[in-house]
Structure 1
C-alpha cells in the first residue's frame, strides 16, 4: 500500500514570504528575572535558544499572516482574484469564533469566490493547510491557494517555554506546476497518534506540557517516523537531499533529529533558525522552508517535516525549480528579517507587549 500522498496533477510553491517582528529578547534577560543568570552560566542547562522574536501589542496571528501573505503574493506575481483558498494555521488565532483566513483574503484583495479556514493541530497546523491545497489543486478543483503559518506564542512566566515561545510566520502560494514555480511538492506523508505531550485547554492563557516527555515519546518519534517513511516511499537517502527542515521547538531537538536521519551541518543550517528567532509554532516549519529556499539552487531537493503536539508530523519532499533564482529577490529574505531592524527589549517591556501584566 502506498503511504505517500502524491497529487494527480503536480502542485508547486509559486511564491513565499515571511514576517518576523523586529523586537527581540535575549535568553539571558529572561534568566536575569527568574534565575539570576544561573542557567546561562551553566553549560549543561544552557537555554534552548539564544534569543527570540517578540510581537508587539498590535501584532497577532492575523497581522503577521497578512504581512507574510502580501510578500508571498509579490513573490508569486499572481493576481489576487485567482486565489480560491486561504488557510491559516495557528495556535494563537485572536478569535475563538471567526475564521482568520477570510480576513487575510480581504486584506490582499482576493475575490469572494473563496474557501477560507483557520487550521488547528498545534505547530503543524500550517502544513495541514499545505496538504489540503495539494488535494484541491492536485484534483483540479482549484488552481491557486495560500497556506499560512503564523503565531504569537504564549508561555507562562518562569516556564521553560518562555525562552522559546516567539512571534512570526510565513505564507506559501501554491498552484499547478509551471515554469513560474519555485519548488514542486513531489510527495507528502503524515504520521499521527494520540500523544498528549503539550496542550492548552479552552479559556486558559498558557499551555501545559510534560517537560522531558515532549522529546523522545513525542517529537523524536513522530518527526523521525514521518521523515523515514516518506524518504523510503520516494526512494531517497540523505545524500540525495540538499536541505532538511524540521520543526524547531528549540535548537537541540531538530539538530539531533537531523543527525539521527544522517544529515550533515551544511544540509541542516540554512533551515535551522530558532536559535535567533525562537519557536514560531505553526510558522516554524514554513519559515524554515523559506530559509532553505533562500539558499537553494535549481534541482536541489528539500525534506521538510513539521510536528504538532497531540501528536502528528507532516513530511514533504520539495524539488527546487529554475524560477527560484528570480523570485527570491522580490521580497526580503529570512536572513535579512533576522539580522536587520533588530531592537532588543527588557523583560518589563516584553511582559507589556505580550500582555503578561493584566490591568
Structure 2
C-alpha cells in the first residue's frame, strides 16, 4: 500500500471579515455571507508568500514524525496558483529549508485549486514504483482576487503538506482517480495580476460536473457508496458548493462537517481540499474511512479513498507536535480593509 506518512498545515494568523470588504464596496454584507457561507478569511503577513507557507506546512509535517530523515525524501512537489516566481521553483526552496537531500526530484505544479492533490498522486506513483522512499506533496496559495471582484470575498492564504510513503503510514490511500476536461471557467494570463472567471460557468459545467464525475468514478472503482465512509472532504471555494455536492452525491452533513473549514478560513485555492483533509485527520480514528475530491478550474478533479490506520494513535506519530487546523484558526488578528490591501500588495508605497 501507499499512504499518508505524515501531514502538516500552516495558516497565517491575520484575518479580514467579509462584512469589512463588503462595507468598502457598498455591497450587502448579509447577502454575501449568506450566499457564500463565508464570514472571514485568512490574510498573509507582509513577509509571507506561497514559499514561506509551503515551508512551514512541510516543517509541521516533519515534526509529527521524529524519525523522518530528510535524506529519505526523494521528491517534493508544490502546487499553487501564486508561486513567488514565474521561473524559479518553489519546491527547491522548500527542499533547502527542510534540509532534504539534493538527490531528489522537485517541481512546481499548476492546475488551479487541485495542483496539490496532483502532487499527491505523483508521489504515490514514485513511491509505489520504488523510485523514492518518501515524497512530499504541498498545496499552498496566497490566493488572488481583484479589488471589488467576487473572488476578493473568499481568496485566502494557507497550505498543507502531505508526506507520502509506502510503509508505516497513518492512512492508506486505497485508490485514486481523476476526471478532467477542457472547461475554461477560470483563468489568468501571463503578466496579469488577478484571475478572471466565467461567472455562472464556475458552478456548472465547472465545479459540480467534475467533482461528481471523479466521485462517481471512485464509487465504481471501489464498489462503495457514501454510506461506506465516515468522512468526506470536497474542494471548498465557499461553503455552499461542497455542501451542495455532498448532498447531491448522498453524503450526510455530519460526514463533511469536520473538514469544512472555509467559513472561517476562506478559499486557500490549492490548499483548500488538503487543509480540509488535514482537519479531518486531526479527529479521525483508526479504521475510519475518508472520501476526498478536489477541484481545479480548467478543469479537473482528483478523488481519493483513504482508510486511517492504527499508527495515527501510536507512539511513532504525534498529532500534538504541530498545531491542528482548529488551533491554527484560533486567536486571529483582524485587519481593516486598508491594512488588508497593504498586506496583499493592492496598495504600494511610492518611493
Shorter-chain TM-score: what band?
A: over 0.9
* Counterpart secondary structure, 2:285: coil
Which residue number in structure 2 is paired with residue 207 of structure 1? Answer: 195
Which residue number in structure 2 is paired with residue 98 of structure 1? Answer: 88
Equivalences for 1:7-156 in 2 at 5 Å? 10-35=1-26, 38-42=27-31, 46-77=35-66, 78-156=68-146
Q: Distance in 2 between matches of 1:217 and 1:183?
A: 32
Aligned partner (choices 275, 283, 298) of residue 295 of structure 1: 283
Please state how far the C-alpha of 1:48 moved relative to its aligned partner: 4.5
* Counterpart secondary structure, 1:308: coil
The answer to whether residue 219 in structure 2 is matched with residue 228 in structure 1 is no
Extract unaligned runs of 5+ from structure 1. Answer: 1-9
* Counterpart secondary structure, 1:172: strand
Please state how far the C-alpha of 1:21 moved relative to its aligned partner: 0.3
Please state how far the C-alpha of 1:44 moved relative to its aligned partner: 9.2
Which residue number in structure 2 is paired with residue 322 of structure 1? Answer: 310
* Counterpart secondary structure, 2:162: strand
Which residue number in structure 2 is paired with residue 5 of structure 1? Answer: none
Please state how far the C-alpha of 1:177 moved relative to its aligned partner: 3.0
Moved more, 252-261 or 71-80: 71-80
The structure-2 alpha-carbon separation of the partners of 1:106 and 1:241, relative to structure 1 and needing over 3 Å to count, comes to same
CA offset digits 1:92-138 (Å, max 9, x no partner): 00011111111101101111111111001010001111011111001
Q: Distance in 1 between matches of 2:74 and 2:295?
A: 27
The structure-2 alpha-carbon separation of the partners of 1:244 and 1:113, relative to structure 1 and needing over 3 Å to count, comes to same
Please state how far the C-alpha of 1:213 moved relative to its aligned partner: 1.2
Which residue number in structure 1 is paired with residue 154 of structure 2? Answer: 164
* Counterpart secondary structure, 2:64: helix
Aligned partner (choices 242, 247, 259) of residue 271 of structure 1: 259
Q: Distance in 1 between matches of 2:267 and 2:196?
A: 16
Please state how far the C-alpha of 1:357 moved relative to its aligned partner: 1.0
Please state how far the C-alpha of 1:250 moved relative to its aligned partner: 0.6
CA contact (8 A) 1:137 1:144 kept: yes
Please state how far the C-alpha of 1:67 moved relative to its aligned partner: 0.3
Q: Distance in 1 between matches of 2:142 and 2:37?
A: 18
Aligned partner (choices 324, 331, 338) of residue 333 of structure 1: 324
Aligned partner (choices 231, 234, 245) of residue 257 of structure 1: 245
Q: Distance in 2 between matches of 1:260 and 1:75?
A: 36
Please state how far the C-alpha of 1:43 moved relative to its aligned partner: 7.6
* Counterpart secondary structure, 1:138: helix
